[in-house]
Amino acid sequence: MELNELEAQIKELEDKKSGLIEEIKKNYGRIRYKKYEEKAIDPFLKETEHIMVGPVRKRLRQLEFRISTQAYTPQIERQMIKEVRKAEDELKSLRQVERARRKKKLIAMDIEEAENRIKAIEEELKKIRETLKDLYGKARTAKSAQKQGVTFGEKHDHMVSMGDIVIIEEEKKR
């Protein structure tokens, strides 16, 4: 491989490596932001961890089902509608708790996703660094050979060396 080709490959890999490093930095920033967000939500969640949203939602569904499927007297139906409204109001007050819990799960998923992406990038960087190390060695060898005037591989001389001539003459004498 020629020195120019080696330098071009090295530059390409260095650019890719710097891009991956920037992506890692962005992911670490994202993780840091998400952890701050998680810390901000934690006090509210600890305060409201005893609140159960599921039973309220279940009761509301049962009431709505009973109203829609059975026939009641107007007085009983009004009473049930009042209960539905009360359950809806209670559910509205619990929506903030529900959102905070959902947000906590989403934050945890984002953090995990960013950490997995960082691991994948680090593996890719490891491969790039190994390739670069190999290319640096080849480039170093090519530069020193170029300084000393040594050529490797495919450049052929159309000249015949004196050693080759001597061997040919000796073979003819026999």
CATH of the domain at 121: 1.10.287
pLDDT digits (tens, 9 = 90+) for 123-174: 999 999 999 999 999 888 888 887 877 666 555 556 666 666 665 555 566 5
Total domains in the chain come to: 1
pLDDT digits (tens, 9 = 90+) for 7-30: 899 999 999 999 999 999 999 999
Q: How confident is the model at residue 67 (pLDDT cuts 50, 70, 90)?
A: confident
Nearest Cα residue to 115 out of 27, 2, 53, 6 = 27
- Report the predicted TM-score, pTM, of the whole model to 2 decimal places: 0.64
What distance, in Å, lies between the first and last C-alpha atoms of the chain?
42
How confident is the model over 82-109, as a mean pLDDT? 91
Q: How far is the C-alpha of 93 from the C-alpha of 152, rounded, in Å?
A: 79
Range of the domain at 36: 3-173
The residue among 54 and 171 whose pLDDT is bigger is 54
